Amino acid sequence: MDRASSSAGRLTLRALSCAMAVPLLAGCAGPLEALPASSGGAIGTVSRPTEGAALRVLPPAAVPYGTAPIAIIPRTTPARRLTPADRLPLGSFTVNAATQRNEPVLGDLSRAAVLIGDSQSEPTDSWVRRGLEHAGYSVYFAGSGGTGYSVGIPKVHDYANALRLGDWRLPAGRPRLVVVQGGGNDASRNSADSAIANGAITLFAELRRTYPGARIVMVGTLAKSAADGGGRRTEVDALLQRTAAALDVPFVGCGDWISRYGLAGELVDGVHLSPQGKARLAPVFADALAARGLALS
């Protein structure tokens, strides 16, 4: 095809396009579809011009440019299709089907004790941790100093709400034993008996949902005896003993241990034990667990 023929062909196609466009424009009774406006990159709407009027661009349409044509609805994987915790890599997280809380995968918990507590339990050399180790357990701590059944600190809530809100997390799987120690901070802040008892009841209900069938033990409030000035700490220990009985869980009372085992000289601040005092009390706690059939070795 020569140059003249090619030019003629292009003119013919252009004429046909214009001819097709005219009836389309003429038949429009309202705005045409959205087209790019001449200024900027926004989408505008071009209205059908009247004879002798200049082309007018209306404001941008309400639907923003790039809106997805379909709605994407999230789907939840059924519990039966979730990978069992014992098959997930260590350090990953899994969702507890009963509580819908994220739980870290730490491996085999068949010889582990999950410990919830305050500053009596938190240090790695605490008498509670070391006592559990003497009893044959490895220990996972979930708690914080300054907290209790009814009280918290700015960054960590009381026991039950700390669990619910994820201030600390319980591990996935089936621990051999769950230990809850506390009451000292509830005592020092003069919490009402009802608040302490209700906090304990709520926490143990959550623990039973988290670990169905697990063995759970409550440890009371370390204190001097009532005759030796135990005061509110000893009272809270007695209250927790009654609460544990109502919950049908074993209880290790320690509301007179400071006096009974001559540890007053090992108190560094009237409440917490020195390293030597912790070391002396750890086997006492291990023996108390063994007496209740809760020791592994």
Give the pair of three-digit tokens for residue 39: 């200024």
pLDDT tens digits in sequence order for the chain, 297 residues long: 554 445 545 544 454 444 444 444 344 444 434 333 333 333 232 334 444 445 454 454 444 434 343 333 444 444 444 555 566 677 778 999 999 999 999 989 999 999 999 999 999 999 999 999 999 999 999 999 999 999 999 999 999 999 999 999 999 999 999 999 999 999 999 999 999 999 999 999 999 999 999 999 999 999 999 999 999 999 999 999 999 999 999 999 999 999 999 999 999 999 999 999 999 999 999 999 999 999 996
Element (H, E) at 9: helix 3-26
**Radius of gyration for the chain, computed over Cα atoms and rounded to the nearest angstrom:** 36
50, exposed or middle or buried, with CB in 10 Å at 0-12, 13-18, 19+?
A: exposed
Q: pTM of the prediction?
A: 0.71
CA distances from 140 to 23, 48, 68, 105, 145 (A): 79, 73, 47, 12, 15
> Helices (H), strands (E): how many in the chain?
8, 10
> Each residue of 72-89: b (16+ CB within 10 Å) or e?
eeeeeeeeeeeeebeebe
